[in-house]
Amino acid sequence: MFDIAAILERLVFWMPAVLVGLTFHEYSHGWVAYKLGDPTAKHAGRLTLNPIPHIDPVGMLLLFVAGFGWAKPVPVNPYNIRGDQLKGLMLVSLAGPASNVVVALAGTVVLAFVGFNSVLTPLLSPVILVNLILAFFNLLPVPPLDGSKILAGLFPGARGLLQSLEQYGLIILLVLVFSGAIGALFRLVIHPIYVFLLQLAIGF
């Protein structure tokens, strides 16, 4: 049975953070691809900070109901990328998580500026946490997450193995979620960094 109160809380306090995080993540993919010579995202209307084109309705619904979802992936044509395609795809993939780290740090700076007693605090702290989650989750080397393409760029010999695993990507992710591995990532890596950033904001 769904917890209606928890869903409403996510909608009010967490939806802005999710929209900001997903939008910057997908936009950054498209922007770096465009700078490397691939206009596919631009032609698809995805080179925008308007969150609507980036929303996958099913992924967004599941995100708030089940806590696990996705955005609409930005289309990238590797054949348009200038130079080394693997390195180019690595940079395009890295741009998404990197943008989330930047947004989390920006949220920390704003929170330090407005103070913890501000009416904005219930909105800013989710921005920090959600963007940390998006950054580290997407760095997992599991296809089709960004981490798999980053790994392929760093170690071209792993490309074949990663491509062969892509058809099982969703299954692998579900296993990681329900086995508690993602929970361990949150407890051991993401949450300590989140607490550290909050302490930084308090210290300013």
pLDDT tens digits, 155-198: 988 888 888 888 888 899 889 888 999 899 999 999 999 999 99
Does residue 2 register a pLDDT over 60?
no
pLDDT, residue 6, reads 65
Catalytic residue at 26? yes
Q: Is the overall model pTM greater than 0.85, yes or no?
A: yes
Percent of the chain with pLDDT over 90: 64
Which of the four pLDDT bands, split at 50, 70 and 90, describes residue 3?
Answer: low
Within 10 angstroms of residue 183's Cβ, the number of other Cβ atoms is 12
Given the residues 17, 20, 26, 145, the one annotated as active site: 26
| Percent of the chain predicted with pLDDT > 70 | 93
pLDDT in tens, 16-43: 999 999 999 999 999 999 999 999 999 9
Contact status, residue 17 vs residue 129, Cβ threshold 8 Å: yes
With 90 as the cut, is the pLDDT of residue 69 above it?
no
Q: What is the pLDDT of residue 22?
A: 94
Range of the domain at 142: 4-203
- Sign of the alpha-carbon dihedral angle for 8, 10, 16, 22: negative
Query: How far apart are the C-alpha atoms of 128 and 15, rounded to whole Å?
Result: 13
Indicate the number of domains in the chain. Answer: 1
